[in-house]
Structure 1
Amino acid sequence: MNAPNEQCQACQTAADGYFLRFAGEANLQALNEWLTGDKFSPVHRIETDIVWAATHAVPDMLDYFTAHMDAAQITAAPAPDKTSLPTAAEAWFPLADLRAHQAAHWIDDVIAEERVRTVYQPIVSGYGEQVQIEAYEFLSRALDEDGTLIPPYKMFDAARTRGRLFALDRVCRLQAVRNASRVGDRLVFVNFIPTAIYTPEHCLQSTLAKAWASGADPHQIVFEVVETEEIKDLDHLENILLFYRKHGFRYALDDVGSGYSTVENVIRLKPDFVKLDMHYVQGVADDPDKQQVAIALLEAARTVGSRTLAEGVETERDWAWLSKAGYELFQGYLFGKPELEPAQNVLTLSK
C-alpha cells in the first residue's frame, strides 16, 4: 500500500513536461554536446544526469536520442513542475515507453475538464412476468472533444499509462454519485478501483461530500469493486470497504469466480452483493462445471448474508437456470444495454 505522503502525486494536475535521466559515459558526453547545441527548447538541466524537457519537444527528442544515444540507458518520468524530482524508482520508465505515455495525453484534458458521461444499465429482479428494475449500474464513458463517446477500456488504458488512474476513477465516481437522484429510490451501483485509492479517509472525502450534497440516501448507493488484476493487499481493500460501510454505504464484489474475486474472499470481505462473473453465467444452463461455480457462490453468499447478482445474462435459458438455482438479481443485454437515459419501466425482454 502506498504511504500517505505519496497520495498527492495521484491528485496532481497533468505534467507539463518530463524528466529525462541519462546513464553511461557515452550518453552523458552526448548530453553535454546536445545541451551546448541547444537543439531543443525549452530544456533545463536539473542535475548532471537529469534534464527537464517540455512535452511538445518530446517527439523530436525521441528521434534524436534513438539515432545518437544509447536509448536503453535513458529513462523518463512525468514532471508536474521542474522541481519535483521523483524519489521512487518505479516512477521512472524506459524511454521506449515515453512515446506511448505522451500519446495518451488526451486523458489529462478529459480529467481536467471532467468530460465524463454516465450511462445506465438496468439490474432486474424476479423472473418471467414478475421481472422489475431494482437497480442500475452507473457506468462511465469519456467524451471526445466532438462529443462522441470514448470506449471505457480506451480511457482507463490511457489513464493507466499516464499514471492518472486515481484522478479518472475519482471523476467517474463523483459524476455517478451526482446522478444518483435520476433513478429515484432504486439502488445505484458505482464502480471504483481500489488500487487507485491510497488512504480512504483522504481520497474518499470528496465522494462523501458529493453524496451528502446530492441528497442521496447512502444506503441506496452500492460501491462496486472493479479490478482487472489481482488485489494483493486485501487489508487495504478491507479498510476501504469498512470506510464505506461506516458511512452508511453498501458494497459489492464484481466478477466473482475470476481473478481476485474468489469465494474465499466473499467469506472474508462479507459484501452486501456478489456478482457472478459472466464467464460462469453465459452457458451455465448446459455446463456442469459452470453450475458448480454458481452454486458454490450461492452457498458462500448465504453464509455471509450477501445478495447474489448474475451479470452478463444474454439468454432466457441461462436466466431460468440461475433464477431456479436461487440468484436474486440479473444484469445483461437480455434486459438492456447501457444507455444515456435510465429506463424507468419494467422491461420488455429483447430477443
Structure 2
Amino acid sequence: MDHYLARQPIVDTDRNVIAYELLSRNSEENVYSDQDPHEATRRVLETAFHVMGLDYVSHGLPVFVNFTRDLIVNYRQLTIPPGSLTIEVLESIEFDEELLKALQHLKKAGYQLALDDFNCNSSVHGIPDILRTTDFIKIDFRAPFNQQQCTENLAKRSGKKLIAEKVETFEDYQRALDSGYTYFQGYFFGKPEVLYKKSTSLMIDDQIAVHLPHL
C-alpha cells in the first residue's frame, strides 16, 4: 500500500525548524484532494505515527495537524500520545460547550492546541474560554490587515504564542518579527514537501489490518 503526506516547517525567530505541520496527500502531486476532512486527518495521523514514524516524518520534532470537530469531541478515540502532537482547531469549526469541554480535556491530558485562521470576531461563542485552552494562535498573513491586527492584539493580551502563517516574502517575515511573533510558517521558509512510504498490510485474526513499512 502506498502512503503519502506532506510536511511544512514551522520556524522560530532564528529560522530554526521547531515543528512541522502535516498535510494530507494522496499521491506525489503536491495538492490537497480529499473530499472528507475527517478521513484525511485520520489518515495523516495513521501515516505519520504508525506507518512512517516521527523520526522519519519530522526528525522527532512535534507535529501540527488540523482536526475536525468530530475528532475533537470524540477525543477518547485518540491514541496518539501527547507531547508530540499539537491539535489545530480550524476557524470553520462551530464553537459550543461540547467543543470547549473536549478541548479542555485534551489540554488537561497534555496535548497542545492551536487556533488556526482564528479571528477576533466578537460573535464567536466563548472566546475567553477558547483562549484559555490554547497554546498557539496562527494568523494568516494573507488575511485583511485590520483582521490580523485585531487578532494579534487579542492574542498578546491573552499571553498566547503567535504563529505567522502564509509568510511568503521577506517583508512579511520582517513585519511579523517587528510585531512580536514567536514562530513562522510559509513559502518564504519552505513549501510543503511530499513524503512517501510503501507498506504491506498484515491481517490479524482476519479483522485488524497492520501496515508494515518497507525498510
* TM-score w.r.t. length of structure 2: 0.74
Q: Secondary structure at the match of 2:194?
A: coil
SS at match of 1:301: helix
- 1:178-197, Cα deviation, whole Å (9 max, x unpaired): 43333245331112111455
Q: Which residue of 2 aligns with 1:301?
A: 155
The one of the two structures with greater contact order (alpha-carbon pairs below 8 A, sep at least 6) is 2
CA distance in 2, matches of 1:195, 1:247: 18
Q: Residues 298 and 233 from structure 1, CA distance in 2 versus in 1: closer, same or farther, beyond 3 angstroms?
A: closer
Unaligned runs of 5+ in 2: 196-215
| Helix, strand or coil at the partner of 1:172 | helix
Q: Which residue number corresponds to residue 268 of structure 1?
A: 129
**Structure 1 residue aligned with 2:31:** 151
Match of 1:246 in 2: 108
Aligned to 1:50: none
2:30–2:194 Cα contact (<8 Å) kept: no
Structure 2 CA distance for partners of 1:299 and 1:265, relative to 1, 3 Å: farther
Cα deviation, residue 293, structure 1: 2.9
Equivalent of 1:134 in 7, 14, 18: 18
Q: Which amino acid aligns with 1:141?
A: R
In the aligned structure 2, how far is the partner of 1:248 from the partner of 1:225? Answer: 16
Asked if 2 retains the 8 angstrom alpha-carbon contact of 1:315 and 1:334, the reply is yes
> Does structure 1 retain, via aligned residues, the 8 Å contact 2:6–2:30?
no
- Who is 1:170 aligned against? 42
What is the Cα deviation at residue 311 of structure 1? 0.6
Secondary structure of the residue that 1:137 maps to in structure 2?
strand
Match of 1:85 in 2: none
In the alignment, does 2:190 pair up with 1:316? no
Whether contact under 8 Å (1:119, 1:138) holds in the other structure is yes
- Give CA-to-partner distance per residue, 1:211-264, whole Å, 9 cap, x none: 34xxxxx2232111236x4x3342232233223222211011111239x89887
1:225 aligns to 2:112 (yes or no)? no
- State the one-letter code of the partner of 2:176: L
TM normalised by structure 1 equals 0.48
Q: Whose helix fraction is larger, Structure 1's or Structure 2's?
A: 1
Stretches of structure 1 that go unaligned for 5 or more consecutive residues are: 1-112, 160-164, 213-217, 281-288, 342-351
Q: Which structure features the higher share of strand residues?
A: 2
Q: Any conservation in 2 of the 1:255–1:261 contact (CA below 8 Å)?
A: no
Could you say what the CA RMSD is over the residues aligned between the two structures, in angstroms? Answer: 2.9
Query: 2:151, 2:136 → 1: CA distance?
Result: 11
